Amino acid sequence: MVQVLICPTTVTLMLLLSTLPVTLTGNNTLKCSTGKIPVSAGDDVILQCRLEPPISAESIRIEWTRPDLLPCIKGSVHTHEDGRFLYEEQIPSYNNRSSLFVDQLINGNVSLKVSRVTPSDTGKYRCYLPSINQEAVIELSVGHDGFVPPDSFMEHKPVEAVVGSDVILPCVSTFNINVNDHILEWNKDDEEIYTVQDRRGSTQVDDYKDRTSVSIEEFKKNNVSLKLSGVKETDKGDYCCCIKLGRDNIKCTKVTLDVTKERKQHEDKQQTKTEADSIGSLVGIVAVCLVAALVGFVLWKYRRCDRRRTDKPNMDWNLSTNVKRAQLLNLDV
Ligand SMILES: *[C@@H]1O[C@H](CO)[C@@H](O)[C@H](O)[C@H]1NC(C)=O
Ligand SMILES: *[C@@H]1O[C@H](CO)[C@@H](O)[C@H](O)[C@H]1NC(C)=O
Ligand SMILES: *[C@@H]1O[C@H](CO)[C@@H](O)[C@H](O)[C@H]1NC(C)=O
Ligand SMILES: *[C@@H]1O[C@H](CO)[C@@H](O)[C@H](O)[C@H]1NC(C)=O
């Protein structure tokens, strides 16, 4: 380790600077390294971030969090406020592994050092400074000997269900899980609604008793999807599917469930809308036809009348001649 020698004048200067009132203008921006940072398991890594132009970040709140773990894993990777590290806010898996360069905060260096990284450290890291409303995200990728692990869980869309139906909340891991060694936890709103340990499933919350299950056969294939029966409106929300691989190694993914009262309510609305539309256009067509027919009739009638008027003498003549002819033939007309 490099011995850091600080001369008294620097100390006085630093003390002087730190006692100066910090004026935070809207002009200070947070500049962080961009792109995915690849690192090997076991190494230490520095997630680089600094304020520009440099101002002291000693007394402001500095939050380093993992947004991709929320709401499943709460807490921060490292939070610093009023010159101290808030240990109580830290995610346990980062205990004793995170640090800021405290002596560099005065220069606006808010970089985070994470020591002895593990593959589960892979993900997004957000640096947020609430007082100046600045944030930035850095991606870290931890692999063994340069191997970069894929995402921990298969991608899925939010799930939709109708009240009273059964639904599968998908959770399939891309890493190997072992039904004998690993613990599965399904949580909702911080409550354990279903757990599987030593091949045995159990429910902690009454509301989910007899309504939740995970297939052990599927579990062996890394599929720990939760079957939820008799869906209620209150089942709506975010669920966390967590797999405990070890004491401080937990992997979670979020599954969002949306509950509707009636089947395909949205589609029905769409259908009635298109029906209404077609009725509307049908009415329109009929109206156009009626108008056309009316116009045609009027024209025809008008022409007929017109013709009649011109034909009248002829007809009269015809009639009279006919009458005459009839009279000649002595017939009753
Ligand atoms: C921000 O910087 C610009 C020049 O770059 C300056 O004109 C402005 O006054 C600054 N704003 C504040 C709030 O200090
Ligand atoms: C912050 O300080 C540390 C320790 O001196 C240094 O390694 C790092 O490069 C600095 N980062 C920035 C962004 O200045
Ligand atoms: C962190 O370090 C403290 C003191 O050195 C120790 O008591 C604690 O058990 C450590 N925590 C972890 C998670 O290693
Ligand atoms: C996972 O298991 C559930 C039943 O628990 C099944 O419905 C689903 O299709 C399975 N998913 C995959 C990807 O095998």
CATH of the domain at 168: 2.60.40.10
With the most atoms of ligand 2 within 8 angstroms of its CB, the residue from 32, 104, 105 to mutate is 104
Residue 150 within a domain: no
Both 180 and 247 in one domain: the answer is: yes
More reliable by pLDDT, 98 or 41: 98
Both 130 and 206 in one domain: the answer is: no
Residue 330 within a domain: no
Please tell me the predicted confidence (pLDDT) of residue 120.
79
- Rounded CA-CA distance 106/182 in Å is 45
Long-range pairs for 215-222: beta carbons < 8 A, 24 or more residues apart: 216/179, 219/177, 219/179, 219/184, 220/179, 222/172, 222/173, 222/174, 222/175, 222/176, 222/177
Domain with 170 in it = 159-260
Both 247 and 171 in one domain: the answer is: yes
Both 92 and 181 in one domain: the answer is: no
Q: For ligand 1, is residue 27 a contact (CB within 6 Å)?
A: yes
Q: For ligand 2, is residue 215 a contact (CB within 6 Å)?
A: no
| Protein residue with its CA nearest to atom 8 in ligand 1 | 27
> Within 13 Å and on the Cβ side, how many CA atoms surround 233?
3
Last residue of a domain, one of 260, 292, 309: 260
Share of the chain above pLDDT 90, in %: 55
Domain count, the chain: 2
Residue 289 within a domain: no
Is the pLDDT at 327 greater than 60? The verdict is no
Please tell me the predicted confidence (pLDDT) of residue 20.
43
- Rounded CA-CA distance 168/236 in Å is 13
Residue 245 within a domain: yes
- Rounded CA-CA distance 88/118 in Å is 22
- Kindly give the distance from the C-alpha atom of residue 152 to the centroid of ligand 4, in angstroms, as a whole number: 17
Q: For ligand 1, is residue 26 a contact (CB within 6 Å)?
A: yes
Among the bound ligands, name the one nearest to the CA of residue 29: 1
Is the pLDDT at 195 greater than 50? The verdict is yes
**pTM of the predicted model over 0.85:** no
Q: For ligand 2, is residue 101 a contact (CB within 6 Å)?
A: yes
Residue 267 within a domain: no
Residue 67 within a domain: yes
226 near 126, Cβ under 8 Å?
no
Looking at the chain, how many residues does it have? Answer: 333
- Rounded CA-CA distance 78/93 in Å is 11
Both 129 and 172 in one domain: the answer is: no
Residue 175 within a domain: yes
Both 33 and 139 in one domain: the answer is: yes
Give the position, in ligand 4's atom list, of the atom nearest the Cα of 154. 13
| Protein residue with its CA nearest to atom 9 in ligand 2 | 48
**Model pLDDT for residues 83-133, shown as the tens digit of each residue:** 999 999 999 889 999 999 999 999 999 999 999 998 878 889 999 999 999
Both 34 and 130 in one domain: the answer is: yes
Both 108 and 56 in one domain: the answer is: yes
- Kindly give the distance from the C-alpha atom of residue 48 to the centroid of ligand 2, in angstroms, as a whole number: 7
Residue 50 within a domain: yes
- Kindly give the distance from the C-alpha atom of residue 96 to the centroid of ligand 3, in angstroms, as a whole number: 6
Both 231 and 205 in one domain: the answer is: yes
Both 38 and 129 in one domain: the answer is: yes
- Kindly give the distance from the C-alpha atom of residue 73 to the centroid of ligand 4, in angstroms, as a whole number: 25
- Rounded CA-CA distance 255/38 in Å is 28
159 near 255, Cβ under 8 Å?
yes
What mean pLDDT do residues 127-154 have? 81
- Kindly give the distance from the C-alpha atom of residue 212 to the centroid of ligand 2, in angstroms, as a whole number: 50
- Alpha-helical runs (H) found in the chain: 8-19, 216-219, 265-329
Q: For ligand 4, is residue 306 a contact (CB within 6 Å)?
A: no
Both 209 and 126 in one domain: the answer is: no
Please tell me the predicted confidence (pLDDT) of residue 15.
43
- Residue 111 one-letter amino acid: S
